[in-house]
Structure 1
Amino acid sequence: MENKVALVTGAAGGIGEAVVRALVGRGVTVALVDRNGDRLEELAKELRNDGGRAEAFPVDVTSSAAVESVVAEVEQHLGGIDYLVNGAGVLRLGQARDLTDDDWTTTFAVNTTGVFFTSRAVVNRMLAQGRRGAIVTVASNAAGTARMDMSAYSASKAAATMFTKTLGLEVSKFGIRANVVAPGSTDTPMLSSLWEDSSAARASIDGVASAYRVGIPLGRIAQPEHIADAVLFLLSDMAAHITMHELTVDGGAALGH
């Protein structure tokens, strides 16, 4: 993977940041994409000070024009993109009948449409240059397992999952692979923001019968690095014959589904 170029959305924190750090550790030049420009600059500077190659490119992935512009800027400054990781995501909780219009549209704008805009921009440039590459979309095990209060999130991740697999089918003849990593509960700010107290983590592990959650068989919540390891595998040549695959990383919470 050394000397390749990667673009990672949602790079300012959580799983996205873990992916960035893992890629930089493998000698990849990484374009950090997120709407949190201050955090991007801070992270990119830290990585460069440690000898890595990373540049910040603040952008809102819900804007088609902005995404097209930033992908062109990345290529101008860093070179052709070899890897894309769609890591940007938002979570709005609530019973389906209580969700607001904004809850629904914002969730899909980031989690689904943002994946479409970024994937389209990167793939079209890969094709124009005759460049083989690999794409990984970070979805969720909730895309295939119903969860209380997560209808918008689950639906958006299911859509992003099938979009990525279909894209993979369409571009396979050009040597471009597209896969999905589906995390379960992971120790990120997105998850901890939902916790009212320390008992919430234990409930995720043990399960909640009233919410039809069976818990996590491996007995622990994932660390972002666990998800990043799966992303790196699917980007790497070790997965050279894998495409349109969904790799679930949830400690068994979805019981293998």
Structure 2
Amino acid sequence: MSDREFAGKVAVVSGAAQGIGAAVVRRLLAAEARVAALDVKQEQLEQLARELNAGDRLTIHRVDVADTAEVNRAIADAVAHHGPIDYLASVAGVLQMGRVVDLTDEQWQHALSINAGGPFRLARAVGKQMIERRSGSIVVVSSNAAGPARYEMGAYAASKAAATKMTQVLGLELAEYGIRVNIVSPGSTDTDMQRGMWADESGRDNVIRGSLDTYKAGIPLRKIATPDDVADAIVFLLSERAGHITMHDLRVDGGATFDQ
């Protein structure tokens, strides 16, 4: 089945202002979907809307996914403008580095509120509507860091592991309504978040090679993912091409976690 299946359908994408989320928005609009783009970064959302020039098929919504009221309001506004929601791509996330013993309560809670709480709040708001219609598809972006332990990633890994398990349980609970719920777990991807972890221009090569000092494997495919690589996986799982796939965790990491 081609991407024509998205024509006229309604999708909500969080974390839409840049990186993977923006790539998903572009793919869905190219497939003639109607898209509500959510992000906390208003200026970058406005820039994306100007760039894409999609008219009323694209609406932008300034939303902090850690805030229940803001999430519920954005979903209500999206429905009011576009109609019932067919797809949810929950992409918004933050990176929190630091050894567990050095993390503050605020850092710990911030990671959990956005990386796990964001997908929960969005899925709750959208899922209730999908149940009424007995149709829909949801994809939550987690991380391959939810698997193997990663040095100085206690808060990030824990929040992504929580998102992964919540999403799998959601998929089990929504299956009887014909609603599919899946996970995409990227590895190192060429985004601002990834580049912010690099000390210098050797950062990309260091990630590909891995690090014995921090017990981190490299990437067997010898390259870092692009946002489009991950967006392709998200759009596939949203689509009817994945019509018999639910509760699946698809790793898009060039083999970095050796299919664990």
Tell me the TM-score range normalised by the shorter chain: over 0.9
Aligned partner of 2:236 in structure 1 is 233
Matched letter for residue 25 of structure 1 = A
Aligned partner of 2:3 in structure 1 is none
- Alignment deviations for residues 32-57 of structure 1 (CA, whole Å, 9 cap, x no partner): 000111111221232125x7821101
SS at structure 1 position matched to 2:208? helix
Aligned partner of 1:47 in structure 2 is 52
Cα distance in 2 for partners of 1:151, 1:88 equals: 19
- Equivalent position to 1:175, from 154, 165, 178: 178
Matched letter for residue 73 of structure 1 = D
Aligned partner of 1:164 in structure 2 is 167
1:16 aligns with 2:15: no
- Equivalent position to 1:111, from 115, 132, 135: 115
Aligned partner of 1:134 in structure 2 is 137
SS at structure 1 position matched to 2:213? helix
SS at structure 1 position matched to 2:251? strand
1:193 aligns with 2:185: no
Cα distance in 1 for partners of 2:104, 2:19 equals: 26
Cα distance in 2 for partners of 1:47, 1:98 equals: 42
SS at structure 2 position matched to 1:210? coil
Cα distance in 2 for partners of 1:220, 1:59 equals: 33
Aligned partner of 1:81 in structure 2 is 85
Cα distance in 1 for partners of 2:236, 2:56 equals: 20
Structure 2: where are the runs of 5+ without partners? 1-5
Cα deviation for residue 131 of structure 1 reads 4.3
- Equivalent position to 2:68, from 60, 64, 69: 64
Matched letter for residue 188 of structure 2 = S
Which 4+ stretches in 1 moved above 3 angstroms?
Answer: none
Cα distance in 2 for partners of 1:144, 1:43 equals: 33
Matched letter for residue 48 of structure 2 = L
| Identity level (%) | 49
Matched letter for residue 17 of structure 1 = A
SS at structure 2 position matched to 1:44? helix
Matched letter for residue 118 of structure 1 = L
Structure 1: where are the runs of 5+ without partners? none
Matched letter for residue 231 of structure 2 = A
- Equivalent position to 1:247, from 236, 245, 250: 250
- Equivalent position to 2:37, from 11, 32, 37: 32
Cα deviation for residue 215 of structure 1 reads 0.3
Query: Number of matched residues?
Result: 255
Cα distance in 2 for partners of 1:227, 1:158 equals: 18
Cα distance in 2 for partners of 1:126, 1:73 equals: 16
Cα distance in 1 for partners of 2:76, 2:56 equals: 22
Cα deviation for residue 2 of structure 1 reads 1.4
